[in-house]
């Protein structure tokens, strides 16, 4: 007697396969849950610099960034971050104080770390509202203690 040939066994085999498939979907994280990966950022983890040297800057974006920084990137209490260890990229998310004007809830800063942890070279980008990422500066820092990132 062929077990897979009977109709009843085929239905139960399909149910088992569907159950296995749906249990895998529950166990594997989806991209929808990726939005919950934001963590609270302690600004002390970025280190304190004894000295710094600007290596490169975009004259247009650099001025715009430092003019807007006092308003748009001022809130250090509610800053959240995501960090990609492989690329050493830190994305910080700030609450937007001008939500009604820009029609967005957050502004973003992206820091890309290169070289060591004691004397890193950091490339700064920023994004206000729904704009694209804008390059601001590349700065070489000399820190008192190593950073975590």
Per-residue pLDDT tens for 90-114?
Answer: 999 888 777 666 677 888 899 999 9
Dihedral angle sign, alpha carbons of residues 82, 122, 58, 72: positive
Separation CA 60–CA 134 (nearest Å) = 10
pTM score, whole prediction: 0.68
Separation CA 124–CA 137 (nearest Å) = 5
- CA atoms lying within 13 Å on the CB side of residue 106: 11
Q: Strands (DSSP E) along 1-149, which ranges?
A: 39-40, 49-57, 80-84, 89-95, 106-114, 121-127, 134-143
pLDDT band at residue 20 under the 50/70/90 scheme: low
Comparing CA positions, the residue from 107, 65, 110 lying closest to residue 83 is 110
Comparing CA positions, the residue from 67, 88, 93 lying closest to residue 78 is 93
pLDDT band at residue 89 under the 50/70/90 scheme: very high
pLDDT score recorded for residue 100: 67
Is 148 a residue whose pLDDT tops 70? yes
């Amino acid at each position: 007697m062929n077990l897979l040939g009977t109709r009843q066994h085929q239905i139960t085999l399909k149910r088992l396969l569907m159950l296995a498939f749906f249990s895998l979907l529950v166990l594997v994280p989806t991209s929808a849950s990726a939005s919950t990966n934001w963590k609270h950022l302690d600004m002390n983890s970025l280190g304190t610099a004894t000295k710094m040297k600007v290596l490169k800057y975009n004259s247009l974006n650099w001025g715009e960034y430092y003019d807007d920084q006092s308003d748009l990137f001022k809130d250090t209490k509610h800053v959240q971050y995501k960090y990609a260890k492989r690329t050493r990229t830190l994305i910080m998310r700030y609450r937007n104080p001008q939500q009604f004007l820009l029609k967005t809830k957050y502004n973003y800063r992206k820091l890309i770390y290169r070289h060591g942890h004691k004397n890193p070279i950091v490339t700064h980008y920023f994004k206000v509202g729904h704009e694209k990422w804008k390059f601001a500066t590349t700065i070489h820092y000399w820190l008192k203690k190593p950073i975590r990132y």
